[in-house]
């Protein structure tokens, strides 16, 4: 099989959580370009999600699917609706994420819990929903979107760092549980990416990040999406339990 065939996702069905914007949107597009049918999950941004679906370069099928991934019933419905419309899910990208930054001494329990619920529980819930089908079929790939912050921590982001570090533990545990049944589970750990999430970064924080990033720039969402598509593909058939940094060297 040539490397081009190995990176093809023809015949695959992907669910990307939080795909109405940013990294999720770029991932939906790259997966569709590689031939997968793609479900674009969102929580509130219906018009944005429908625009993503319209823009997908996919003959394989695509849909927008609403649901808050932090809610067990909604996570179940998102997976069921995807299955009914596109078929059995073979690729899950746990990308949905939020921030509620603040120093710990001023952080509310609500802000701590909200970030853990979307970023970590959401990934657990969707993974649990697809696990049985993937293990029964003895194939499948789950990619969790962690962060350089989960590996290094960050003042003012204890909730986010805890969630992203938790995703790494979830990734490695799922890799051990599901590997014997042919399912691969990996994580990516992006540095700072040009999306809505980072659009409010103060100038001094941005400058500090750039100073500490050997490649001297932020990432484009497509640069994260490409690695996710690789991890989803047969070209990554012997990679599981890995956490791939995509951070321009920030985490070195
Ligand atoms: P973004 O532009 O803010 O987009 C977030 C996406 O998640 C939106 O589509 C949003 O949809 C969706 N979402 C939020 N809460 C949700 C929920 N409970 N259920 C379903 N969907 C939900 O963020 P981004 O920068 O692309 O980040 C994507 C992922 O990458 C996140 O996990 C983030 O932590 C991670 N990451 C980002 C960076 C960065 O620098 N940007 C760096 C490292 C890691 P709605 O608008 O409809 O709610």
**pLDDT at 2 > cutoff 90:** no
Phi, psi for 194 (deg, rounded to 5): -75, 95
Q: Looking at 42, 160, 192, 238, which residue is catalytic?
A: 160
Find the range with the poorest average confidence among 6-10, 110-114, 138-142, 247-251: 6-10
Residues of the chain with pLDDT > 90, as a percent, come to 96
User: 3 CA distance to ligand 1 centroid (A)?
Assistant: 31
Are 120 and 63 a contacting pair, CB within 8 Å?
no
**pLDDT at 74 > cutoff 80:** yes
| Per-residue confidence (pLDDT) for residue 105, from 0 to 100 | 98
Find the range with the poorest average confidence among 45-49, 54-58, 76-80, 212-216: 54-58
User: 87 CA distance to ligand 1 centroid (A)?
Assistant: 25
| Per-residue confidence (pLDDT) for residue 6, from 0 to 100 | 84
| Per-residue confidence (pLDDT) for residue 154, from 0 to 100 | 95
Q: Which of 234, 181, 190 lies closest to 209, judged by CA?
A: 190
- Residue 39 confidence class, pLDDT cut points 50, 70, 90: very high
CB-based pocket (< 6 A), ligand 1: 17-24, 41-45, 68-70, 95-98, 118-119, 122, 145, 147, 190, 192-193, 195-198
What does pLDDT average to over the chain? 97
Distance CA 18, CA 38 (A): 12
Phi, psi for 114 (deg, rounded to 5): -65, -40
- Residue 238 confidence class, pLDDT cut points 50, 70, 90: very high
The DSSP result for 52-74, as a single string, is HHHH---SS-EEEEE--TTSHHH
**pLDDT at 57 > cutoff 80:** no
- Residue 5 confidence class, pLDDT cut points 50, 70, 90: confident
The tokens 């956490």 sit on which residue?
243
**Domains within the chain, CATH numbers bracketed:** 3-245 (3.40.50.720)
Distance CA 184, CA 3 (A): 19
Sign (positive or negative) of CA dihedral 178, 27, 82, 128: positive
Residue nearest to atom 18 of ligand 1 (CA): 68
Distance CA 81, CA 83 (A): 5
User: 97 CA distance to ligand 1 centroid (A)?
Assistant: 4
Examine the residue annotation and report whether 192 is marked as an active-site residue of this protein. Answer: no
- Which tokens belong to 163? 């969630």
Are 213 and 219 a contacting pair, CB within 8 Å?
no
- Which tokens belong to 241? 């339990």
- Residue 239 confidence class, pLDDT cut points 50, 70, 90: very high
Are 70 and 117 a contacting pair, CB within 8 Å?
yes
Q: From residue 176, give the alpha-carbon distance in Å to each of 59, 181, 231.
A: 34, 10, 17
- Which tokens belong to 190? 């992006």
184-202: per-residue pLDDT in tens?
A: 999 999 999 999 999 999 9
**pLDDT at 51 > cutoff 90:** yes
Are 189 and 150 a contacting pair, CB within 8 Å?
yes
Residues of the chain with pLDDT > 70, as a percent, come to 100
80-96: per-residue pLDDT in tens?
A: 999 999 999 999 999 99
Find the range with the poorest average confidence among 47-56, 158-167, 199-208: 199-208
| Per-residue confidence (pLDDT) for residue 233, from 0 to 100 | 98
| Per-residue confidence (pLDDT) for residue 221, from 0 to 100 | 98
| Per-residue confidence (pLDDT) for residue 59, from 0 to 100 | 87
């Amino acid at each position: 099989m040539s490397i081009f065939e190995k990176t093809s996702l023809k015949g695959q069905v992907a669910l990307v959580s939080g795909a109405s914007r940013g990294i999720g949107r770029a991932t939906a597009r790259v997966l569709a370009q590689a031939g997968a049918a793609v479900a674009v999950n969102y929580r509130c941004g219906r018009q944005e999600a429908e625009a993503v679906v319209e823009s997908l370069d996919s003959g394989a099928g695509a849909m927008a699917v609403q649901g808050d991934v932090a809610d067990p019933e909604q996570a179940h419905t998102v997976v069921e609706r995807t299955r009914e419309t596109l078929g059995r899910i073979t690729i899950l990208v746990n990308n949905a994420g939020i921030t509620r930054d603040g120093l710990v001494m001023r952080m509310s329990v609500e802000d701590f819990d909200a970030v853990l619920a979307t970023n970590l529980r959401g990934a657990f819930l969707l993974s649990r929903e697809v696990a049985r089908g993937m293990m029964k079929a003895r194939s499948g790939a789950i990619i969790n979107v962690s962060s350089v912050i989960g590996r290094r921590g960050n003042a003012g982001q204890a909730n986010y760092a805890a969630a992203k570090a938790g995703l790494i533990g979830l990734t490695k545990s799922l890799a051990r549980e599901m590997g014997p049944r042919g399912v691969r589970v990996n994580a990516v750990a992006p540095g700072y990416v040009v999306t809505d999430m980072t659009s409010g970064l103060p100038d001094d924080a941005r400058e500090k990040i750039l100073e500490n990033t050997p490649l001297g720039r932020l990432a484009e969402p497509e640069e994260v999406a490409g690695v996710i598509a690789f991890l989803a593909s047969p070209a990554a058939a012997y990679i599981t339990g890995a956490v791939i940094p995509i951070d321009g060297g920030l985490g070195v």
